[in-house]
Structure formats: structure tokens, C-alpha cells
């Protein structure tokens, strides 16, 4: 089935009008479109003032898009921030749209994650240290420990969870709420499941915060023992938003051994301490390299830096993860190394990390 052209989608949207006769595209511009397995995802770019005005038109727009050939479901999102306001009620028999990229979204109705016992952040002070790989293998490893686990990719600008988990389908949307995808025994959600992986997420801070809030609150996570959140690198909006919206049980800090990475990891630990979030410990990734041919061990980035830093800061040291080509290959193939080669040095290291964190999760009341 040929994907509907942007021009045809625009024609449909121009048929959606408000009370004064203005069309939805009089207040917004068609940004991106994508059809996956019968679900049409449409992003509309608008400004702050107009976003509130067209909010009530989104259910009608989604309904109108069903007339396109090959479209069995539609989701329209806004890529702009707007003033906080009570959303218009959903039409009878319809559903409230997912306005990813807008702060607020669904109004608060009790705890944002009422059936999730614990939430753990996996963070780093800088990018490129293997944080996402650690988060994915930790989450799957916790599932192998017998826990009910969810994994949220909170890196809005650089979502990597879909590729690393082998997920390619968009989530189902029912009554304005998304159902996380399941893979390798856990439930997973990422903004990368809603947009083309080649699309650049050029969003400002308020839009990122709104998207993160909705990935938490507008997803049917169900009953979980632990939700692992793969944080973006740094100490910015996403970290603050998460700490404000949910009660974090703790944070796992990932670093490589060299001093420059440890400096940034130290900042990450300081940030969580200021937010009164316990630091569960540090992980030293790319700790050493073992030659696959001769077995010789080389400390490419130094060795033991994270252990020493953890001791200096008074936080637990959670283990060393080797630098192996198999880790990269398994991530590219969409099968975490704790699944693909669980008895490899890396697989065993991640399993040991998951075992340690699982004990902490079980102690949380």
C-alpha cells in the first residue's frame, strides 16, 4: 500500500474546521508524516498561542485521516509548547490525542505511575560512555532475575532503544493512551517508536519536558516491579522533569575510566544528590579490552578510575564492563548481549550488575 502523500494529508486536514470556519492548517503547518502498519502518525508544527486553539480539533483530524487508503488508525501530535489549560473533552467514542512535545498533555489523575513500584534512572554526565547499552542490558537482566520490568528511553534527541531492542513497530493507541511494546521479557517505550529514525528531533526544552511527561503518564505501563529510565546525557531538563514527576528510587551512574569522563560523572552524582535521589552506584564501562585472538588484556582508557571515584564519593561500585566488539554487534542486531551471549565476559558482567540492582529493588517497600 502506497503511503499517503503529505499533499493528500494536508487536503484532509484542511477539511477540519473550528467554530469560526478556520481550518486546522490555518493555525499549524504539516511537519512530518509516517505510515506504519496501518497507523498514520502526523506531526503538526505550531506556535504557543495557536496550539491551545487547535487542541480541540485534533480528535476530528484523526478521525478524518481514517478516510485515507491504508490508514486504520491515526495519531496527530503537536510539536510546540502551549500554556497549561484544561484539554477539551474527548468526543463520544473517540480518544484524546497524544500531544507529544507539548507540556501538560493529559491532566494529572493521581500518581503518574500508580502501578510501578520503583523507578531507577541510568545516567551519565556525558555522552558516548555506553549509558544506553548499560540501561538496556540492565533492564533485560532485571527481567531475567524474575522482576516485571519496563524500559523508558528518555533521550528525546537521540533515541536508541528501538534499534538496540529490535523494535520496529509503533505502539498501539487506545483511548489516547499508548501500549508499550514487549521484547526480551520487558515492556519498552521510546519517542523513536513514533518518528522516523532519520528525523531530527529539533525541540526546545519545554517540548522535551512535555514529551517525557507524556511518555510517563500517557503509557499503559501496567504493574511493574521496576521502570528503568535511560536518561539523556548531562544534567538538564529531562533529569529535572523526571525527578519532579516521579519518585526515583535511585540512579545508576555510568562512566568510562578516564579522568575527563569521571569529571562529568561527578557532576551527575552531584545533581542527583541535590534532588535527594539516592545514587545506587557507579559502573565502569569500557573498563578493559581483551583481544579476541590471544586473550591479552589492554586498558585502553585506563582502569579503575570509576572504582576510585566511587570510593572517594562514598557510593557503591557496581562493577566493570569490558570493551568488546560483541557488545556493539548485539546492540546493532537488536538483541542485548545478556540474551545473545549471556555467558560471555560482558554478558556475565551485566548479569552481575542486574543481580545487584535487583536486590535493591526487592528491598524497596
150 assigned binding-site residue: no
List the domain boundaries for the chain. 7-80, 119-363
pLDDT for position 259: 56
Cα gap 4→120, rounded to integer Å: 41
Tell me the CA end-to-end span of the chain in Å, nearest whole number.
51
pLDDT for position 233: 72
Q: Along the 365 residues of the chain, how does pLDDT read in single tens digits? A: 577 888 899 899 999 988 888 888 888 888 778 777 778 888 787 776 677 777 788 888 888 999 998 888 888 877 644 333 333 343 333 333 344 443 333 333 345 788 899 999 998 866 667 788 999 999 999 999 999 999 998 876 667 888 888 888 888 877 778 889 999 999 999 887 776 666 655 555 566 666 777 777 788 899 999 999 998 776 666 677 677 778 888 889 888 776 566 766 777 787 888 878 888 988 888 766 666 666 666 665 556 667 787 888 788 888 888 877 778 788 888 889 999 888 888 889 999 999 999 998 888 75
**CATH topology of 7-80 equal to that of 119-363?**
no
347: CB partners within 8 A, 6+ apart: 337, 338, 340, 341
129 assigned binding-site residue: yes
- Looking at CATH, the fold of the domain delimited by 119-363 is given as Rossmann fold (3.40.50)
132 assigned binding-site residue: yes
Q: Tell whether the torsion through CA atoms of 312, 318, 319 and 322 is positive or negative.
A: negative
C-alpha dihedral (74, 75, 80, 82), degrees to nearest 10: 110
274 assigned binding-site residue: no
89: CB partners within 8 A, 6+ apart: none
**The Cα angle at residue 319 between residues 235 and 149, in degrees rounded to 5:** 70
The CA-atom distances, in angstroms, between 235 and each of 216, 239, 264 are 19, 6, 9
Strand partners, 119: 227
pLDDT for position 100: 43
287 assigned binding-site residue: no
Give me the CATH code for the 7-80 domain, please. 3.30.300.130
pLDDT for position 282: 87
Q: What is this structure's pTM?
A: 0.66
Amino acid at each position: 500500500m502506497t503511503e499517503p502523500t503529505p499533499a493528500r494529508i494536508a487536503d484532509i486536514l484542511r477539511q477540519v474546521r473550528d467554530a469560526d470556519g478556520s481550518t486546522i492548517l490555518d493555525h499549524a503547518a504539516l511537519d512530518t508524516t509516517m505510515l506504519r502498519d496501518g497507523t498514520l502518525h502526523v506531526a503538526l508544527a505550531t506556535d504557543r498561542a495557536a496550539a491551545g486553539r487547535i487542541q480541540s480539533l485534533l480528535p476530528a483530524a484523526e478521525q478524518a485521516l481514517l478516510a485515507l487508503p491504508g490508514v486504520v488508525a491515526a495519531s496527530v501530535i503537536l510539536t510546540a509548547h502551549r500554556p497549561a489549560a484544561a484539554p477539551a473533552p474527548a468526543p463520544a467514542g473517540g480518544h484524546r490525542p497524544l500531544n507529544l512535545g507539548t507540556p501538560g498533555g493529559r491532566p494529572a489523575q493521581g500518581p503518574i505511575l500508580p502501578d510501578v513500584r520503583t523507578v531507577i534512572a541510568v545516567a551519565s554526565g556525558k555522552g558516548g560512555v555506553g549509558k544506553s547499552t548499560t540501561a538496556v542490558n540492565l533492564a533485560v537482566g532485571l527481567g531475567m532475575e524474575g522482576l516485571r520490568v519496563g524500559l523508558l528511553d528518555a533521550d528525546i534527541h537521540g533515541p536508541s532503544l528501538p534499534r538496540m531492542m529490535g523494535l520496529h513497530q509503533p505502539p498501539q493507541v487506545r483511548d489516547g493512551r499508548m501500549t508499550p511494546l514487549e521484547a526480551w521479557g520487558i515492556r519498552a517505550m521510546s519517542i523513536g517508536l513514533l518518528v522516523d529514525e532519520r528525523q531530527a528531533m529539533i525541540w526546545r526544552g519545554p517540548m522535551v519536558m512535555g514529551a517525557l511527561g507524556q511518555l510517563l503518564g500517557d503509557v499503559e505501563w501496567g504493574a511493574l516491579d521496576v521502570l528503568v529510565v535511560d536518561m539523556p546525557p548531562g544534567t538538564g531538563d529531562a533529569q529535572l522533569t523526571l525527578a519532579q514527576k516521579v519518585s526515583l528510587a535511585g540512579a545508576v551512574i555510568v562512566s568510562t575510566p578516564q579522568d575527563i569522563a569521571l569529571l562529568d560523572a561527578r557532576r551527575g552524582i552531584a545533581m542527583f544528590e541535590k534532588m535527594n535521589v539516592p545514587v545506587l552506584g557507579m559502573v565502569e564501562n569500557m573498563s578493559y579490552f581483551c583481544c579476541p585472538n590471544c586473550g591479552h588484556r589492554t586498558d585502553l582508557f585506563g582502569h579503575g578510575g570509576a572504582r576510585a571515584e566511587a570510593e572517594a564519593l562514598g557510593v557503591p561500585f557496581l562493577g566493570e564492563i569490558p570493551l568488546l566488539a560483541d557488545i556493539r554487534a548485539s546492540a546493532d542486531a537488536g538483541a542485548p548481549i545478556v540474551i545473545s551471549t549471556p555467558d560471555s565476559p560482558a554478558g556475565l558482567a551485566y548479569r552481575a550488575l542486574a543481580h545487584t540492582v535487583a536486590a535493591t529493588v526487592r528491598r524497596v517497600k
